[in-house]
Amino acid sequence: MAKKATEPAPVAGVYEGDYGIIELEADPYSGSGWLISINGVPSSHIEIGAPRELAFEYMRWIASAVQAQVNGGFLAPRRITHLGGGACTMARYFADVFPDSRNTVVELDGELAKLSRQWFDIPRSPRVKIRVDDAREVAASFTPASRDVVIRDVFAGAVTPESFTTVEFFTDCHRGLASDGLYVANCGDHSDLRGAKAELAGMAEVWSRLAVIADPPMLKGRRYGNIILLGSDVEIAAPPVKELLGGGVPSQFKDDAWVRKFMSGAVPRRDPV
């Protein structure tokens, strides 16, 4: 959806957000691309007029995971909730790919939500609704079976707050999902992979099927990076191999059997008593 001429155009600069500094910079490699950083950490990338252009590899992996589940006949993504939304890159993407979907973005920073609406061609509600709220509290209030996909992309700096990695949080998300629903999490982890393993151990307590997507060096514990964690009570479809290998950072899909060996011995995190 193109921006109207009367809507404010993005202006590169530094802005004061409700929870930190928002920096907007033009993408030097694209005439219509913009990078949004929060407190110095890249958070979102928007290509105006091209909602299906995803600059971040992990976002392409999320898109591949959801679309593989749809193409495999395991999922109808009508109701998608994004816990942590940044500038709504993924919600904008899915609203375009699945025009009948209803995307709800829960974003803590109200100023970021307001500026994103002003700057970018984000579809209006109900296709993309932005709710300024605490995503953990929203998850705790989920009505049973009220959504088809939950995507967690919550970060404070370069880490996900621990309250979004516990069995209790996963239980809230599981309750909110339909019986064939899909949980997707962007996990940033270090080379020891303890965080990803602990999350997967917690997810295993509420979902019967697990899977991950990441690049091989990350899965072998050679660097800090992103791992996409997937949970469902139905089969989790593997994206096409050609699709996973085709990006700038080739990735792999690992199924439930691999995940359970990978996380063996990990201790799930729990909310403080």
Residue 158: predicted pLDDT: 79
Q: What is the pLDDT of residues 197-211, one digit of tens each?
A: 999 999 999 999 999
pLDDT at 6 over 50: no
Residue 172: predicted pLDDT: 98
Which tokens go with 187? 């996990």
pLDDT band of residue 7 (cuts 50, 70, 90) is: low
Burial (CB count within 10 angstroms: exposed 0-12, middle 13-18, buried 19+), residue 180 = middle
Contact yes or no for 152/145 (Cβ under 8 A): no
Q: Residue 206 has what DSSP assignment?
A: T
Q: What is the pLDDT of residues 219-243, one digit of tens each?
A: 988 888 899 999 999 999 999 999 9
Give me the mean pLDDT over the 62-75 stretch.
Answer: 97
Residue 250: predicted pLDDT: 93
How are beta strands 79-83 and 21-26 bridged, if at all?
unpaired
Give me the mean pLDDT over the 96-116 stretch.
Answer: 97
Give me the mean pLDDT over the 258-267 stretch.
Answer: 97
CA distance 82 to 181: 14
Domains and CATH numbers, the chain: 54-262 (3.40.50.150)
The mean predicted confidence, pLDDT, of the chain is 94
CA distance 179 to 269: 24
Q: What is the pLDDT of residues 119-170, one digit of tens each?
A: 999 999 999 999 999 999 999 999 999 999 999 999 987 789 999 999 999 9
Contact yes or no for 128/116 (Cβ under 8 A): no
Residue 91: predicted pLDDT: 98
Give me the mean pLDDT over the 7-32 stretch.
Answer: 92
CA distance 17 to 8: 18
Task: Quote the pTM value.
Answer: 0.95
Residue 222: predicted pLDDT: 84
